[in-house]
Chains A and B, each alone.
Chain A
Amino acid sequence: MRTWLLIAVLAVGSVLMKTLGPVLAGGRQPPPPLTRIIALVAPAVISALIVTGTFTQGQQLIIDARAAGVGAGAVALWFRVPAVLAMLIAAVVCALLRFAA
């Protein structure tokens, strides 16, 4: 029973948070200062997601095979390697290091 309640609360809460912005502020061009902030939300959030996926495990900061894999992928991207190939390089580097360890 408690589990079902947990699932319901999480589901409703998530949808609320995802749709609040689109419903309240959708389709209108906000004033210039807000527009400039909105333009920077994506770089901020994406950067935070990259750091989370590369250096964290739960609440711990870790430098492990993932950091090496992402580093290899980043170098590949910098030299204009297509994204899918860069992802492959990162996965191979990461898997090899994990296999070696």
Chain B
Amino acid sequence: MPLALPIAAVGMSFGLLAGPLLGAMPSILMSAVVWSGTAQFAALSILTSGGGTALAASAGLLANTRFLPMGFAIAPSMTGGPLRRLLRGALLADASFVIGHRGGGRFDISALAWAAPMQYVTWVGGTVVGVAGATAIGDPARWGLDVLFPVFYLSLLLPDLFPEHIQAARHRARRQGDRANRGRGHASSRNLRPIIVAVLAAVITLVLTPIAPPGVPVLVAAAAALIGIRPPPQPVTRAGAGDDA
């Protein structure tokens, strides 16, 4: 899995920063039970800047509110009883969400579930290395590892935005099958909505980042999906055009 390296690198960064402040064991335990870089860095940055425990906890929780809409997004793709769904839902993380998503609102829950243990082990392992003082390797950011996330996410987003341009052969085969099953998909008309939503979400994130606490811009950006509440514009059919003329 291509994300093992950057996840370990970010885990290391967290360990390096948190170790001196929280102590070795609490830092490692935090990665082990919280398992969310955004929340952990958010809480840590509050503590570093002299904020109290309550403030740090609220910052961390606020950073993770994005998992609410993400959880509701994966919910329809899930099977099994409440306990099974609870356990699968607990495996939700940014990377596993992106890896599990199959476009059109569908999620491969087993892909999501398989991605999670690897992420977990590299995240906690990275933290341990960072806490142990990985001064020999230095700051992982110097190696350009942090750009691996956006590019990987982009590789999984582009097929949503430009299906006919990007789709690799195996993707195409799978999606054509899906289209046939769905019947009326966006096979005939070009669906611009994912592009509009992605641009809207990007703008929201850029505007809110300087003024909102970490994690909140992503939560608000998720609201861009609300444009889907309106039915998609009907493609102009030949019959309709003929009637007009």
Contact = CB atoms under 8 A, between A and B. Distances in A.
Given A24-B75, A43-B197, A48 B147 contact: no
A100 interface: no
Interface string B66-81: 1111111111101110
Given A48-B204, A50-B202, A25 B224 contact: no
B214 interface: yes
Interface string A26-57: 11111011011111111111111111111110
Interface residues of B, number: 102
B7 to A, nearest CB: 13
B155 A83 contact: yes
A10 B39 contact: yes
A38 B214 contact: no
Contact of A44 (B2, B88, B147, B225): B225
B2 A84 contact: yes
Contacts of B97: 42, 45
B137 interface: no
A95 B142 contact: yes
By secondary structure, the B interface counts as helix
A49 B228 contact: no
Contacts of A23: 82, 85-86, 89
Contacts of B204: 48
A40 B60 CA distance: 25
Interface in B1-58: 2, 22-23, 26, 29-30, 33-36, 39-40, 43, 45, 53, 56-57
Interface in A51-101: 51-56, 58-61, 65-66, 69-70, 73-74, 77-78, 80, 83-84, 86-87, 90-96, 98
